[in-house]
Amino acid sequence: MARDDLNAGLLMFVAYRAMEKRVLDAIAAAGFDDITLAQARVFQRIGPDGTRLGELAEQAQVTKQTAGFLVDQLERAGYVERTPDPADARARLVRVAERGRTAGVVAAAVVAEVEGEWAAHLGARRMTQLREALGMLREITDPYRPR
């Protein structure tokens, strides 16, 4: 199939999937080999101040039960912790734990490396345009973006 035969969404997914694989391979090589793709997809949605389980489920587009199962696994492995929500004593937040922060440093380095490779391939101008275009698309496609 030629490049022109693929829709824009699939083209974006192919690039994302390649980055995602590089990140998971790198964190596994760094000793974090017990995190699965499904766990990583939930983990990356945890906000800097923590996120409620229901919000994680919604953003990851999985059931609350599935998100809870994945968070349980991440918690047992030391990547996340559950803490009381200061805004609601009955609720709990999922927060990134120390092991998760360390794995996140590895992941961020790989993301920067991949984006550097993309910029080298596309050229600085096109990479800037790509980021701008994707940022604009986020305005109409991402209900979870910061406002």
Predicted pLDDT at 2: 60
Q: Which CATH architecture fits 23-141?
A: Orthogonal Bundle (1.10)
Burial of 77 (0-12, 13-18, 19+ CB in 10 A): middle
pLDDT of residue 145: 81
Residue with tokens 């906000």: 47
Residues of the chain with pLDDT > 70: what percent?
Answer: 98
Query: What residues form DSSP beta bridges with 114?
Result: none
**18-55, pLDDT tens digit by residue?**
999 999 999 999 999 999 999 999 999 999 999 999 99
Dist CA 108 CA 127 (whole Å): 18
Q: What pLDDT score does 89 carry?
A: 83
The pLDDT value given to residue 144: 84
The separation between CA 48 and the C-alpha centre of its own chain, rounded to angstroms, equals 13
- Sorted by where each begins, the domain ranges of the chain are 23-141
pLDDT at position 1 is 53
Give 94's strand partners. 51, 82
With CA atoms as reference, report the closest residue to 20 among 5, 37, 1.
Answer: 37
